Structure 1
């Protein structure tokens, strides 16, 4: 199970919009690695995640959700490996069956990669994730110091 604590940022009827807190790519190297350089280049745009809760929540409240990680390998295969495999298959078919020149083989590989991309895109859209609510954290009351304490 993959767990993440999110913050409620907006409410729209029964739909709650959650936002994850940004984590740095690597906290051990203090900005000397390539991961943090890329994160600075591409920005830190926060994304919201819609979710429908059975109980009521308030803006600012923290919620811990879990995701079943048994399907992560299937999803990763669809997104990363399918375009690569179709690219290789198309190039192999163009070379062996049709006896085409190298330029046509490269074009066939590109067409295979694009075909794999669109198949993976439609397959990922149809995937449903099993997300469970682990804990709805109570809203913390800010502590203020009263004179005389």
Structure 2
């Protein structure tokens, strides 16, 4: 099981939109590692995760969710392997069965990769992940330090 604590960003009816807590980047590389560079290039736009809740929650409240990781391997195999296998199969068809020149073999490989991508997208859309609410944390009160404590 994979568990993650998220906070409620907004609520519409019985749907709560959850947002992941930002994780601080490591300080070891002083911002020169690949993840730092990619985050600067592509931004850190925060995604909202909608989930149906029957309990009463408020904006800012923390919720711990769990995800069954048994289907993640299946999901990853479809996403990564199907386009790759489609490209290889079409490239071999163009090369060995049709005796095409190299530019046409590359074109066949691109078409096979695109077909594999379409198949993977269709197949992955049918896979359902079971996300369960583990715990809903109560709203915390702000704590102020008083002199002498």
- TM-score, with normalisation over the residues of structure 2? 0.91
- CA displacement at 1:27 relative to structure 2: 5.4
SS of 1:64's partner is strand
Report what 1:17 is aligned to.
17
- CA displacement at 1:121 relative to structure 2: 1.2
Contact 1:26–1:35 under 8 Å retained in 2: no
SS of 2:10's partner is strand
RMSD, matched Cα: 1.9
Instruction: Measure the CA separation in 1 of the matches of 2:129 and 2:140.
Output: 30
Q: Deviations over 1:67-122 (max 9, x none)?
A: 01111111111111110111000000111111111111111000000111111111
The aligned runs of 1:126-141 (5 Å cut-off) are: 126-141=126-141
- TM-score, with normalisation over the residues of structure 1? 0.91
Report what 2:2 is aligned to.
2
The aligned runs of 1:1-149 (5 Å cut-off) are: 1-24=1-24, 26=26, 28-144=28-144
- CA displacement at 1:11 relative to structure 2: 0.7
Instruction: Measure the CA separation in 1 of the matches of 2:97 and 2:145.
Output: 81
SS of 2:78's partner is helix
- CA displacement at 1:29 relative to structure 2: 3.1
Contact 1:66–1:133 under 8 Å retained in 2: yes
